[in-house]
Structure formats: C-alpha cells, structure tokens
C-alpha cells in the first residue's frame, strides 16, 4: 500500500503539469479577482473567504481527472483491481495522494493569497484550519467523480458538472468558518459540520467510487 | 401476484398500454379542473392580489420536482439490488421530467417574486436548494447521455443518484444554515393546521393531484419509448448478425 502511495506521489510530481498547475491556478485567480473587483480593501476583505475557498475548490477540480484516467489508459488500473488489496483501499490511497499534492499545498499557499486579498488578521488561522479539514473531502468526492467518468473519452467537462454540485456543502461550511473567523464570531458549528463532511466522505465514498470503478472495468 | 411481475418488460408494456389512456384522461380532467378553478373561480388574496394564482402551478411543480428525484432514487435502488431493466429505464425516463418541473418551479417563482419581493431572484435557502437540485438533474442526465453501454450507464447513474441524494440533502441543510429565508413557510402540511384558506386549498389539491398524474403519465410514456428503443436496438443487432 505504501508502494502504491509513493508511486502515485512520484508520478504526480515527476510527470509535470498536474502538480504545479493547481497551485498556479489558485494564485492567478487570487490575482485576477482584485483586478476585477477593484483595489478597495474593505470589499476585498469581505469577499476574501469565499474567493479563497472557491479558488481552492476549482484548483482541486483541475487535477481530478488524472486520478484514475492515466492508470485506466495504460491498464495498470486493471492490475490494481485484481491486486490483493481491496479496490476501496486503492481509491482511498489515490485520493490521499491527490490530497497530498493538491489539497495540502493549497492549504499552505492560502494564507499568502489571503494577504493579497486583504483577509482580516483574525481569519488566517481559521483559513488554514478550514482548508486542512475541508480539502480531504474535496479530494475524496473528486475521486468518486473521477471513478464515474473514467471510461469516457470526454470525461473532463462531465466530471466538473458531476462534482461541483457535490462540493456545495463543503464550500458553504468551509467559507462560513473563515468568514466567521475573520469577523470573530462563534464558529464551532460550521467547523464541526465541515469536519463531519470530511470524515463521512472519507469513510463512505471510497465504497461508492470502487463500485463505479468495477462497473467501468467490467 | 407480486409487484415484481411488472419488472418483466412484456408485462409492463401490456399493463401500461392499458393504463396509459386512463392516466392521460384523468390528468387532463384534473389539470383542467384544478387550473381553471384556481385561475378563474377563486378570489384574489387581500395582500398578494391576483398573483396568488401562480400557486396552482408553482407548488405542484415544486412538489413533483422533489418527488421525481425520490422516485429516481427508489428505481435506482431497485436496479442495483434486483437488476430489473424496466426500473433503470424508468429512472432514466423520469429525469428530464423532474428537471422540467424544477425549472417550472424556478421560473414561476421568479415571475411571482418580481412583483411581490421586488426581485426575480434572491439567495434564499429554498430557491438555492432548488437551483442545486437543477444542477444534480443536469449531471444525472449528462451521465446517462455520455455512457454508451446501457447497462454501464444504468449502473453509474444509479450510483450517482444514491450519492447525489445524500449530498442534495446535505446541501439543503447547508443552505438553510448559510442564509435566512425570504420564502414563506409551507402552504400545506399533514401534521399542522393549514395556513391557507379552504378557498385556495381545494383547487390547489386538485392541481397537485393533476401534476402527480401528469408525472406518472409522462414517465409511463417515456419508459415505453425507452423499452421500444431498446427492443429496436436488439432487433437491429440481430439483423446485422444474421
């Protein structure tokens, strides 16, 4: 299992593109929004939590189709399906690898972009914490979506259509944590719900994703 | 005599062929009675004026938009558990109908909201959850359209429907949390005293029954078309082999 994880990480880092692309996209988005909205600090500070969360979500979406597509094309997914470890574990590991090369760097980059967007000082800690808790859900839900469309030729666009509605609760609670954190109001409820979504998705969605993969490999 | 006998396509076609004219007739009667009664023979509301009459389209459409998804969930479960093709095809047939009801509810709501709330659209929890429901319908229909093998498509869309239902419910409560509502509470409920006057309630009930039957009729028709299309494909394939 560790070998599989390391293989995925190595592929993600060395094959180029996927790894840095999401981060660059996140950065570009945070630069473009002030250019479009205007440089006024109060407005930017108010929309910063939402922009950062939407940016993280879209950046995550960019690399989703790589989770299974490459392995499906060269046939290694068939080998993984017949391997001694269960397919559910393969899905969970691939989602973990995706999170390590997308969600985690995004989380680390986010405070820097918060400066660009004039996020109020009280919000930074909550921004990192909410992304740390929320991005695993994004990766797991994304892995489920990628498993659904893995056999399709033009899966990329369809993938975003399928996955974005599933991202709604995560986005709402995540951005709510940061907004309340920035305002200094009570935020235990959205934080707990965000963590709950992440845990629930991580526990259950690998089964759904593995079922979809089995259908696609049939 | 069990309900599973209708899972046999031949049996389903026979029964639905018998039931369809009745369903069509009853739908037309109920919709005409409900809508004409509602539009022309009810008084204006003392605050909303004649705009209240949109309730006869808006409420039944919204109700059926949600019920159509529930029906798809049930038929998807039946497909996953018992592998009855009619069930999968019924889910496929119901999706565009449900999407249309969702859009009707959104559009009539906007038409009503403009004079009443002074805006076509507000990010109210109910409105937002309906918009999200629309996205789920689009995704579901797109997945059906994208996968070529019908059995694979049925499997994948069923899984999507199950997972989507959980997330649709989650989103419903998430948007409640996210914004306070502008939309009024329930007009009808089973467990509380009705907060709508009988004058409006009776025609509303008739048009709701009409919309339920309209949904049943459309789904029956579309399922029959799907079954015929499937038979046609099988016949063509056999001809090519021979």
**B142-163 pLDDT per residue, tens:** 999 998 888 899 999 999 999 9
pLDDT band at A76 (very low <50, low <70, confident <90, very high): confident
Chain B residue closest to A193 (CA)?
B174
pLDDT band at A20 (very low <50, low <70, confident <90, very high): confident
- pLDDT of B1 over the 60 cut: no
Looking at the complex, does the CB of residue A149 fall below 8 Å from at least one CB of chain B?
yes
The structure tokens listed for A23 are: 């981060």
- pLDDT score, position B189: 56
Range scoring the smallest mean pLDDT among A85-94, A146-155, B225-234: A146-155
- pLDDT of B24 over the 70 cut: yes
- pLDDT score, position A209: 94
- State the average pLDDT over residues A79-91: 88
Q: Which residue has the tokens 């440089």?
A: A39
- State the average pLDDT over residues A99-124: 90
- State the average pLDDT over residues A176-190: 88
- Rounding to the nearest 10 degrees, give the CA dihedral for residues B192, B197, B201, B204: -110
- State the average pLDDT over residues B217-234: 93
User: What are φ and ψ of residue B164, in 5° steps?
Assistant: -60, -35
User: What are φ and ψ of residue B119, in 5° steps?
Assistant: -150, 145
**B82-123 pLDDT per residue, tens:** 888 889 999 999 999 999 999 999 999 888 888 888 888 888
Closest CA to B69 of B168, B216, B214, B146: B168
Q: Which residue has the tokens 């009729």?
A: B217
For A148, the closest of B160, B168, B178 (CB atoms) is B160
Chain B residues lying within 8 Å of A152, measured CB to CB: 146-147
- pLDDT score, position B5: 76
Closest-CA distance of chain A to residue B24, Å: 34
Residues 6+ apart with CB under 8 A from B94: B68, B71, B72, B75, B215, B219, B222
Closest-CA distance of chain A to residue B209, Å: 31
Residues 6+ apart with CB under 8 A from B170: A168, A169, A197
pLDDT band at A167 (very low <50, low <70, confident <90, very high): very high
For B174, the closest of A144, A155, A168 (CB atoms) is A168
A172 and B174 within 8 Å at the Cβ level: the answer is yes
Looking at the complex, does the CB of residue A151 fall below 8 Å from at least one CB of chain B?
yes
Model-level pTM? 0.89
Closest-CA distance of chain B to residue A166, Å: 6
- pLDDT score, position A145: 94
The residues spanned by each domain of chain B are 55-182+196-241
Closest-CA distance of chain B to residue A170, Å: 9
- State the average pLDDT over residues A71-83: 86
- pLDDT score, position B73: 95
**A23-47 pLDDT per residue, tens:** 889 999 999 998 998 888 788 888 8
- pLDDT score, position A41: 79
**B158-210 pLDDT per residue, tens:** 999 999 999 998 888 888 877 765 666 665 555 555 556 667 778 888 999 99
- pLDDT score, position A162: 92
- Chain B residues whose C-beta is within 8 A of a chain A C-beta are 132, 135-136, 138-139, 142-143, 146-147, 152, 155-156, 159-160, 162-164, 167-168, 170-171, 174-175, 177-178
**B63-72 pLDDT per residue, tens:** 999 999 999 9
A215 and B152 within 8 Å at the Cβ level: the answer is yes
Residue B14's H or E segment, with its range, is helix B9-40
């Amino acid at each position: 299992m560790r070998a599989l994880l390391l293989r995925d990480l190595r592929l993600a880092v060395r094959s180029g593109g996927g790894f840095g692309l999401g981060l660059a996209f996140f950065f570009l988005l945070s630069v473009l929004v002030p250019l479009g909205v205007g440089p006024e600090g109060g407005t930017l500070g108010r929309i910063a939590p939402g922009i950062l969360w939407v940016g993280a979500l879209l950046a995550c979406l960019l690399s989703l189709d790589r989770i299974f597509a490459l392995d499906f094309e060269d046939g290694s997914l068939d080998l993984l399906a017949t391997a001694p470890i269960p397919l559910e574990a393969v899905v969970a590991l691939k989602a973990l690898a995706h999170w390590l090369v997308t969600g985690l760097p995004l989380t680390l980059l986010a405070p820097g972009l918060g400066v660009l967007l004039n996020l109020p000082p009280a919000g930074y800690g909550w921004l990192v914490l909410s992304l740390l808790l929320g991005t695993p859900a994004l990766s797991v839900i994304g892995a489920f979506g990628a498993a659904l469309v893995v056999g399709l030729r033009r899966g990329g666009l369809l993938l975003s259509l399928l996955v974005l509605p599933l991202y709604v609760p995560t986005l709402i609670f995540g951005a709510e944590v940061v907004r309340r954190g920035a305002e200094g109001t009570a935020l235990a409820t959205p934080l707990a719900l965000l963590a709950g979504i992440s845990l629930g998705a991580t526990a259950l969605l690998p089964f759904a994703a593995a079922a979809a993969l089995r259908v696609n490999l049939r | 005599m069990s309900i599973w006998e209708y899972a046999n396509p031949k049996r389903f076609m026979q029964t639905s062929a018998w039931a369809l004219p009745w369903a069509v007739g009853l739908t037309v009667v109920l919709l005409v009675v409900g809508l004409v009664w509602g539009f022309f023979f009810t008084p204006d509301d003392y605050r909303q004026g004649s705009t209240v009459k949109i309730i006869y389209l808006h409420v039944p459409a919204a109700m059926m938009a949600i019920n159509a998804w529930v029906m798809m969930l049930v038929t998807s479960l039946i497909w996953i558990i018992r592998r009855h093709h009619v069930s999968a095809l019924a889910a496929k047939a119901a999706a565009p109908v449900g999407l249309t009801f969702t859009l009707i509810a959104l559009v009539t709501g906007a038409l009503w909201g403009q004079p009443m709330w002074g805006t076509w659209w507000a990010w109210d929890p109910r409105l937002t959850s309906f918009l999200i429901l629309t996205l789920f319908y689009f995704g579901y229909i797109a997945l059906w359209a994208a996968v070529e093998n019908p059995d694979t498509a049925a499997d994948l869309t069923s899984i999507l429907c199950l997972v989507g239902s959980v997330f649709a419910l989650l989103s419903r409560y998430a948007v409640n949390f996210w914004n306070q509502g502008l939309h009024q509470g329930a007009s009808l409920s089973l467990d509380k005293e009705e907060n709508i006057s009988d004058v409006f309630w009776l025609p509303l009930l008739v048009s709701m029954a009409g919309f339920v039957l309209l949904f049943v009729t459309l789904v029956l028709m579309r399922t029959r078309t799907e079954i015929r299309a499937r038979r046609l494909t099988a016949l063509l394939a056999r001809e090519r082999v021979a």
